[in-house]
Amino acid sequence: MKQKNYRPDRQSGILVHPTSLPGPYGIGDLGKTAYEFIDFLKASGQTLWQCLPLGPTGFSNSPYQSYSAFAGQPLLISPELLIELNLLAPQDLDGMPYWNPYTVDFPKIVAFKTRLFKIAYENFCKGSYPSLQNMYNIFCEKTEFWLTDYVLFMSLKDFHNGKNWTEWEPEYKYLSDKNRKDVLEKLSSSVNYYRFIQFLFFKQWYELKSYANENGIEIIGDIPIFVSADSADVWANKNLFQLDEDGYPTVVAGVPPDYFSATGQLWGNPLYDWDEHKKDGYNWWTQRIRHQLSMTDIFRIDHFRGFEAYWATPNGEPTALNGHWVKGPGYDFFDHIMEAFDNDLPIIAEDLGIITPEVEELRDAYDLPGMRVLQFAFDDLNDNTHMPYNYVKNCVCYTGTHDNNTTRGWYRSASPESQDKARRYLSCNGENIHWDFIRLALSSTARYVIFPLQDVFGMDSDARMNVPGVSVGNWSWRFEKHFLNEGTADYLKQLSKLYGRNQKPTVSETVSEEVELS
């Protein structure tokens, strides 16, 4: 007899970015409170933790505008864990600023943690850490395909006082092999510092992921389809993007007018030169996905529809109104990617916005689950794909996403007609609309259900993570530890069990190697 390996057929979990976690250092990190959050997930009967992209962020603090598609966010490195490694001493934290427990002050936290990281690096360089040194050497060797480009880019960015790489001198903007070697030597201290910081991030992240997996929690990551113009990815791979001779994008990414904006959204990301990607079998994307799968168990591709067709707006336009649709790489891209991963990729396709039959056909051809958002189901009185009775099983139901209002905030600001529709559909009075939405999501036929942590807490609009089209005040939401209490965990566990979520079979199914006839 052969034993089958099982995983829950109906899973659910929570969306919260690690920066939002509680803790004493001004921003959520990969230390003690991250482990406690995993304990909360387990206690609440959940099996999924969804994060936003984990890369180093630039001036906007947006996880979707990162300096690298491969590197990790240094601000998530835990000072506590550095003290455990003797890279920091407790007194190094003396004079720590006061932190607002409900919001991240990014400029202040960058200054505070950079000081700590430099102390840790100096200690590493002058101390004796044989085991850590060996791990560091292995890390640098295994990540060479992206690490050197990233640390060179960040070192040169510091050398140019933070300027966009398009403003650097030509010898740095377009590095020859000789210049590359010279810069590595000239800026060796900075280069090695950035290498070390990435080592610390990935050491802490992989240890946290192992703890999550050991406790039955899978991590859902997030790949933005586009990368930031001011990134190591574009600087080091200019031929893969639509750029002019000075390195500026000729066209930029965005979307036409939609739910979030009457003039569309102008993201400003450079668009890919898909013909160049095709020449080497989409190797850059293959490496990106393989790296992502080392970090997470499942991943969401943000703006999946861009693979079928993407909105291209001439660079310099004030809005996205004058853009146009351009065909993407479509089936050729996914055929290559699926083949590289033996046709086994745990992808969630973010298929929100203007979705055509062609996008749906591309998604379904590879059996990728799409997204359904309950707030969209009740935004007007019309029938739509976000109504649970229209769900196919292979989808992910969200109460809301990181771009949405909280469910309580949505209900308070919704039209009377939408409020009435939600109350009648849910047979409720709206007082606990967040739990009503969570119950509806859990009871749906969707294979996966995800709800933002703010909805579990019943928080209002002031706990919103992001308002699309607004340039300030986003990505900074945090909460305090007492919200992760036993009562909330127990209630969520009972609801999940009631609706058949995250349940292992009580009797193991077995498959006979032989067919016996009686």
- 126 and 90 in contact (C-beta within 8 Å)? no
The owner of tokens 């007492």 is 482
Residue 272 DSSP one-character state: B
The owner of tokens 């003039």 is 263
Q: Residues 481, 486, 492, 494: what is their CA dihedral angle, to the nearest 10 degrees?
A: 170
Take residue 100 and report the two structure tokens written for it: 């607002």
- Residue from 403, 436, 455, 460 carrying the catalytic annotation: 403
- 453 and 479 in contact (C-beta within 8 Å)? yes
Residue 516 DSSP one-character state: P
Catalytic: 302? yes
C-beta atoms surrounding 433 within 10 Å: 26
CA atoms in the 13 A half-sphere facing the CB of 301: 22
H or E element, residue 487:
helix 486-498
Closest CA to 311 of 390, 233, 254: 254
What crossing angle do the helices spanning 486-498 and 433-443 adopt, rounded to 10°?
Answer: 40
- Cα-based distances in Å from 205 to 113, 124, 208, 297, 327: 17, 19, 5, 13, 37
- Residue from 222, 233, 302, 460 carrying the catalytic annotation: 302
- 346 and 370 in contact (C-beta within 8 Å)? no
Distance CA 376, CA 9 (A): 25
Distance CA 238, CA 241 (A): 6
Distance CA 495, CA 44 (A): 9
H or E element, residue 315:
none
Provide the pairing of β-strand 251-255 with 11-15.
Answer: unpaired
Distance CA 32, CA 111 (A): 22
- Residue from 350, 379, 436, 455 carrying the catalytic annotation: 350
H or E element, residue 300:
strand 298-302
| Chain centroid offset of residue 445 CA | 25
Question: Known catalytic residues?
Answer: 302, 350, 403
